[in-house]
Structure 1
């Protein structure tokens, strides 16, 4: 395929950047953490989760609080704007700016102290909420507000936005929970602030400001639970500077530490779901439901649930909801299970559904996925923030919803789903604005201006938890009037008289229709590609736009998911799925990254992508970075010399066939340090041994007896055939015992995985074409295909349709491919061997990333339970080897660090009689190479032992 030049000649260009050599030199001299002026870092931080894009001057990741203080000092000396950033998930544009970005999340994390008696804790601003609560739960305490982004939002970001979340129904907003703040002004004044604390000059200035505006503050600030818009000037009545600074969105000060009040959560929780004919009726009912004092009171409409079903999310829980087209879900607590259940029964009556334990958690996850679900729906236009969290008094919510629905219909935005924190009158929605044409952008501005007036008419706040930023800063005059906006400007000037802290946001705001990430000049390059990107209209540029910025890939604590292993280790934004997506977006648009497919910045960002495909399932909008990486590498190295491991490991299937001619000699050569270095393999890595003979040749000669369940095609993948023939033999024994006749391909075939993962897509396409043509007669006869290696099996399910499109035989192969477990569960329900012994056999199962992301693992669990295996899974997802990734010296540290997050400690700690199961060749190799003393087994080997009535050797 010809190399396509990027970016497109009509792509946008940023204006020439000013010279910052002196600033860079000063920051590098003063700051111990990372100082980044390169295109990759600036591209990764060019936007947040909003509609806006502003490329930063630089990115600084301070090593600790004092390091951050030094960074601020240098910015002040050079008179450059400054932006403090946490999780970067803001929807109003407050986390992107032409400024030096201070990213606290990499190093400045942790709970510094806990005062159990006072129920307070001092926490560093880069700490994620879930991480903080994991520490605090040891004392039976938590931070009350819980945004939907709780796994990756930071304490500093929550202070910046005055975050709320669903549990603010019980806990109140962040401002209501902050006790004190340690702050730093742009000009270097460092202090703790809170009731009665703070610099006396600042306190005097704020006292005078409040006295001048007291009468207008008393009348212009709506008395509602979710008044988040604007600065919290009512807190100046008692000069509580901490509460006044919460929600200022990095426009006033830098927050160095947060002292926050803690709550003791109810030990037992139950959820009640009530159905209503429409979402406005649900809004009408919210105040009466709130009298039951729920911890959460959420509203959902039928559009949201329909979109989640269309996106194939795990939504079986939705079938349990009561009849209706809108629902309220109320979470109630109690000191005992009986107390919580009794409270739920009082609310549910005879028309509500009560959900407990796992069912309750599953419904909460459906609700928390709302933003990503509505951002991009399979059968509708893309939707965007811009009017996503308005709030009114709960008693006026129903009327406001009716008026808002009418306005949405008037503008042609009727597909918009409405949901949110109805107990506090807060309404969430993503709206299908057209942000790529002059008329569409005019309609966007017109809509939000009218929506703002509508909200104010209902006594509401433009923002109910996401803040103002650029999206609503311009509209604050509509809500507060000129005098109060002038007071906001004076408040900011007390702390930041030169307007260097996050300028253009909240006050002195830039227009809401400027600095759009898309805009009327949006014209990305549309290069020819190997993959089809069928869910993105065949457009790589649209695939690069898929990321909504939600930041699920930035979870800091492994929780059973897979995404994103390298970020978990490095904590670099560029190594998150979101960061990589941002670089690809900038690549096809031009401006920051102008060298297209040849970009070294994009290559470096993708270099630590393990191609685990975890993002394909864990990302709320199904970004598939493994596919994007393969596409990029294909073009990046077109006509150029590749890394050595691309030739050695990328061509492993071909090398394995050659090695079969003299396996002993091949093993001797492959295990020498000289050969490893020549092949680009880490000399410290143990290389798996080639088998003495290829089992596929023996299987082709062998005649499988006919079985009552008919024939099944066993796909003899390159890894199993070359390195683990015993697994293939065990699988044959299992399939025949289950009642299948086993047939194998008449010649050597391959899925092309190693060529795909190294971006050699032309070769991969030819290899796959040969495989599809070879298997076509079996596929047309309806034979199921069984794969033993998860990564190879996943190619048929995922990569093959993307590469071959509507090819009928390729489609058959994709649809007819099974894992061993899924075939036995679905087609051999009577197959129920048992391992010997009265007690279940304990086992640690390392679920392969591609099983998690593409193939599913539920059938494996069912089958293992059926044969008498008690399964536990390590908390961390990826083993870290990931094919050729972990075999290279440059990736060694990251690879092993991924494994040490959960897998290897769990294996080492396992009892001697505990089995270790790992279907993935890479997973087994990683465990073997770590010298854990455990020999990992494939499911086929365990099943075969059960068939024979023997213990697993």
Structure 2
């Protein structure tokens, strides 16, 4: 990271000595201190409508680091706030202050006690990782489970008083907190919790700042107690405002619970002592369909007698959004189309008991009337599939092509559950009155909490004025129902200004006093909750939003051109998943834990580049370049991001402009132009291999090419596949028709035995194989290095070669997943939607797709020496996951008798040119060592290592595992030839 200190707008920091602050932090903090533009720009916003550039970012490694950072901020008068996963929707995690990012290092479980069911954790701990550890040790879990459970942190949950669907069973985060260790801005460090009279007196006798705080809190309760009792809504989801009822004597004068939900505006949380719950033994899911969402709201209280784990509601608009994004299609296909659904999970000590309770509730709903259809799911996998329909709601309703962009603002109001149906009717009427009729309604209906994303216009003065008046009317509506402005996500900036509507001016003064007791200087996350910035200020867009409309090589149709790219990312943070054993979206983030290397962080910097007032050098930005540098172009975000961003393509476009008219990195010329070098080497491959494999020459060659000296350069084959094929001639019967076999550079010039195996398979299956005589290439290596003018020419030439076959309707079989992916996605956008490129996209298939769809009766079988079913340890190529799909490959493996053990490893880490450079080696190998390489080393000696990607096989072969990866085509060919697994497949074109 660049060490330079960047000046912050002086009118926001009141003459703060930025350079002195930066130096002081670097001197006292062992963790990372960053004041460069790239780091700050990556943290410019959360998942809200607001944007404020932080003064600097501190990433503490320990409690001492946190204390030192806050002390330095106090000494220099700098505002400060903490952040966990950064997914807040109210703007509480964006500020012109020093940001403490707890998630990277300060994320340990300090203890888990199964007997007392208590855990002590650091605030950066991710919820799912805590629960994985506590389940494993003691069979217990932290109960509240927001939709962001895979990447939200305990500190963030404490900051917002998070809930999630399971709060129906567990209660809110505050209700599951025993004690907190906190740090005040002026340096007091203490544990807080419930306080009886004896402890209170002991604190007063000790004197000092702690005694002053406790004395002031008691005075606050004495002064405002009656109003606290009368004005705070007695509902399950009252998240707005500070938790002053927990300070009442009848509630134990619980300072810890009072601070939960204070959004880093009062103290910095150092540790949390949490109550854990036994995991529910068995769950059963009931889905009940109704005419509209208000009818669901009318009936949610009926679930209370059946021990519900969760009671959710969602309307047809949400499902339409998900269908439009093609999210959770398997689950949605199972659901009849109705106006709305109620989702209830019942708990039982046995599966039968959980099922009986679900059936009991079903009978109750039938008696109540209005039920149209229902489904009961007892299988946990089916339940998990349906859960995802609800979990992805926030992302699914944002930035959907063909629909208006939706935004938060009134996304989590809550009312008494018994009044939910009427509230939903009135809220729908209000939305319709303002022209927001596309807004879906869904949420935690069992506790009266309603979520929605609304198509606000946040770029024109009239639209922003309409936004303000709608939120004001909505606040009055929910207050009239005795509800809460926020039922889950907190107040932040979005609702802080509206708190008087709900609580009245006197209680808001009590909130201001509560903050001042802990933070008399007003430096803790200023402008949030109390003394809040206006709800229409510091908008991420606003009336001055005017991004440029640059000429680009790709079309970016899903973004509406590149102008739509910067606002595509909503900030939900799914890219920050890094739990081991899952397929992760962003491999570089998983191994670096850097916000700049997350999909979200990269999108933030692209936004700042397009905005132009913070990062001002556009396409030449080194901050954007550095953030994109560790993108492996795996396209995981294209598949797994709920918004469907495609950072790999954005990176290619950026590089094309960044290096226009400039000298590029050496590997752009060597690896980026690999297809040309392979073509030139074809007549004399031994010369090229001699240069790359002879000591001395090898060192010079790698240095000139910009290749890591520790990497082996792949060897050129003695004869290319296309030369062997055309010398041999076609031998297929053509009973099933003709197909074109695509001779990608990697297969054709380096591992021709794979294409030879595919030919054997295709001919055995009854196809006539056609291989183009002219040199063809999809342009992948030029695309990945951002040499898009060349890529366009290469792709155009190859398309021209294929046109006769395409117009005849022939299918093109791709063997290398990354090249096949280009033909199935990138080429159309690169060639301006050329109709023949569209034909190529539609007619490109994988080997598995072709055999499954057109040769279903072709069933060669693998065998082993001892007659057991052969096992394959399978590394799924990231483009198979993201673009091509993998189910057909899995089906073919099983069809030929292989038992596939598919690794949840994500990208192998080599990723074409990425892992071949010294600068990327550490990240490349860390990606591979996360799951892939350990699995290969641990694989049974008789198992085959299956990897269709050339990069994946190269990573496996070069990592010293002692194992070699094979392509699926080789396995099917072995079955065709009758070879037993373990015999080396034939490496030349030949008879069957």
TM-score (norm 2): 0.94
Are positions 1:552 and 2:574 aligned together?
A: yes
Q: In the alignment, is the contact (CA less than 8 A) between 1:276 and 1:323 conserved in 2?
A: no
Q: Which residue of 1 aligns with 2:458?
A: 435
3-state DSSP of counterpart to 1:668: helix
- In 2, Cα distance between the equivalents of 1:333 and 1:868? 40
Q: Distance in 2 between matches of 1:541 and 1:241?
A: 48
Q: Is the 8 A contact 1:186 1:501 kept in 2?
A: yes
Which residue does 1:245 correspond to in 2? Answer: 259
Matching residue within 607, 624, 627 for 1:605: 627
Q: How much has 1:658 moved relative to structure 2?
A: 1.4
Partner of 2:146: 147
2:220 aligns with one of 197, 203, 209:
209
Report deviation, 1:496: 0.2
Distance 1:829 1:670 in 2: 44
Please tell me whether residue 693 in structure 1 is matched to residue 693 in structure 2: no
Per-residue deviation at 1:556?
2.1
- Determine whether 1:228 maps to 2:257: no
- The alpha carbon displacement at 1:943 in A equals 0.6
Q: Aligned partners of 1:513, 1:904: CA distance in 2, in Å?
A: 51
Q: Equivalent residue for 1:118?
A: 116
Unpaired runs of at least 5, structure 2: 1-7, 204-209, 367-372, 984-992
Alignment of 1:245-264 (within 5 A): 245-264=259-278
Conservation of the 8 A alpha-carbon contact between 1:541 and 1:585: no
Alpha-carbon distance between aligned partners in 2 of 1:255 and 1:63, rounded to the nearest angstrom: 14
- Kindly indicate whether the alpha-carbon contact (under 8 Å) linking 1:13 and 1:591 is maintained by their aligned counterparts in 2: no
Task: Note if contact 1:203-1:239 (Cα within 8 Å) is conserved in structure 2.
Answer: no
Aligned-partner Cα distance in 2 for 1:589–1:474: 27
Structure-1 separation of matches of 2:673 and 2:301: 65
Change (3 A) 1:783 1:322: closer
- Counting only pairs closer than 5 Å after superposition, residues 634-783 of structure 1 correspond to structure 2 as 634-671=656-693, 672-701=698-727, 702-783=729-810
Q: Distance in 2 between matches of 1:475 and 1:824?
A: 62
1:37-61 residue CA offsets vs partner (Å, 9 max, x unmatched)? 1110111111000000001100010
Matches within 5 A, 1:377-456: 377-456=400-479
Superposition deviation, residue 697 in structure 1? 1.7
- 5 Å matches for 1:148-187? 148-187=147-186
Post-superposition offset of 1:16:
8.8
* Cα distance per residue 1:858-895 (max 9 Å; x no partner): 00111111111111122321100001100000110110
Query: Does the Cα contact within 8 Å between 2:575 and 2:584 map onto a contact in 1?
Result: no
Contact 2:670 / 2:705 at 8 angstroms: preserved in 1?
yes
Deviation at 1:332, TM superposition (A): 1.4
Q: Distance in 1 between matches of 2:356 and 2:41?
A: 53
Offset of residue 322 of structure 1: 5.1
2:886 is matched with: 857
Pairs within 5 Å for 1:580-599: 580-599=602-621
Q: Would the aligned equivalents of 2:581 and 2:931 in 1 still touch at CA under 8 Å?
A: no
Give distance in 2, aligned partners of 1:699 and 1:770: 22
CA distance in 1, matches of 2:191, 2:934: 41
Specify which of 92, 95, 100 is matched with residue 94 of structure 1.
Answer: 92
CA contact (8 A) 2:148 2:574 kept: yes
- 1:273–1:321 Cα contact (<8 Å) kept: no
Is the 1:348–1:354 Cα contact (8 Å) retained in structure 2? no
- Distance between the aligned counterparts of 2:884 and 2:980, measured in 1? 28
Instruction: Determine whether 1:354 maps to 2:376.
Output: yes
Supply the distance in 2 between the matched residues of 1:290 and 1:646 (Cα, whole angstroms): 63
**Range with greater deviation from structure 2 (248-257 or 194-203):** 194-203
1:899 equivalent to 2:928? Answer: yes
Partner Cα distance (2:831, 2:333) in 1 = 35
> Does structure 2 conserve the Cα–Cα contact (< 8 Å) formed by 1:650 and 1:884?
yes
TM superposition score normalised by structure 1: 0.97
Deviation at 1:344, TM superposition (A): 2.1
In 2, Cα distance between equivalents of 1:323 and 1:339: 29
Q: Distance in 2 between matches of 1:550 and 1:754?
A: 32
Q: Secondary structure at the residue paired with 1:375?
A: coil
CA contact (8 A) 2:777 2:794 kept: yes
Identify the match of residue 922 of structure 1 among 935, 951, 963.
Answer: 951
Of the three residues 46, 51, 54, the one matched with 2:52 is 54
| 1:463 and 2:463 correspond | no
Secondary structure in 2 matching 1:295: strand
Partner residue of 1:363?
A: 386
Deviation at 1:13, TM superposition (A): 9.9
Q: 1:686 to 1:341 in 2, by over 3 A?
A: same
CA–CA separation in structure 2 for the residues paired with 1:314 and 1:184: 43
Per-residue CA deviations over 1:142-191 (Å, capped at 9, x if unaligned) read 00000000000000000000000000000000000011100000000001
**C-alpha distance after superposition, 1:16-55 (max 9, x if no partner):** 9755111111111111111111110111111000000001
Distance 2:10 2:726 in 1: 61
TM superposition shift of 1:558: 3.7
For the 8 Å contact 1:562–1:849, the answer to whether it is kept is: no
Measure how far apart 1:375 and its partner are.
1.2
Q: In structure 1, the residue corresponding to 2:860 is in which secondary structure?
A: coil
Structure 1 segment 54-73 matched on structure 2, within 5 A: 54-73=52-71
Deviation string 1:477-535 (CA, Å, 9 cap, x unpaired) is 00000010000000000100010000000000000000000001110111111100111
SS in 2 for 1:52: coil
Distance 2:581 2:539 in 1: 35
Asked if 2 retains the 8 angstrom alpha-carbon contact of 1:274 and 1:322, the reply is no
Aligned to 2:211: 200
Alignment partner of 2:308: what SS?
coil
2:555 corresponds to: 532
Displacement after TM superposition at 1:687 (Å): 1.4
